[in-house]
């Protein structure tokens, strides 16, 4: 999968949710159902790996990115989470 497309999917999923696993339906629809780059087992495995690691709940997006495209996918997942957190912080300050 193209990294730019993966980053766009991860950003969309992260931006449309403001809580832990709120982006899972978007990720499942895009990566499992529509594009067939992951199976449900792959998605569940990535979520399980992320849940046993310390850190914020949104870290599972990094694990999903890794499952799709290896280390470059993990970097895309990390970037999407970082960008989303920054944007949400700015929106919170404005509101």
HEC sequence for the chain? CCHHHHHHHHHHHHHCCCCCCCCHHHHHHHHHHHCCCCCHHHHHHHHHHHHHCCCCHHHHHHHHHHHHHHHHHHHHHHHHHHHHHHHHHHHHHHC
- Mean pLDDT taken over the chain: 86
Question: Is the pLDDT confidence value at 93 over 60?
Answer: no
Claim: this prediction has a pTM higher than 0.85: no
Condensed to tens digits (0 to 9), the pLDDT of residues 38-82 reads 999 999 999 998 888 887 777 888 999 999 999 999 999 888 877
């Amino acid at each position: 999968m193209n990294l730019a497309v993966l980053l766009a999917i991860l950003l969309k999923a992260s931006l449309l949710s403001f809580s832990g696993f709120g982006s899972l339906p978007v990720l499942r629809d895009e990566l499992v159902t529509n594009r067939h780059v992951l199976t449900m087992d792959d998605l569940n495995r990535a979520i399980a790996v992320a849940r046993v690691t310390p850190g914020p709940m949104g870290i599972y997006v990094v694990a999903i990115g890794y499952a799709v495209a290896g280390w470059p996918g993990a970097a895309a997942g990390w970037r999407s989470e970082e960008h989303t957190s920054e944007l949400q912080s700015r929106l919170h300050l404005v509101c």
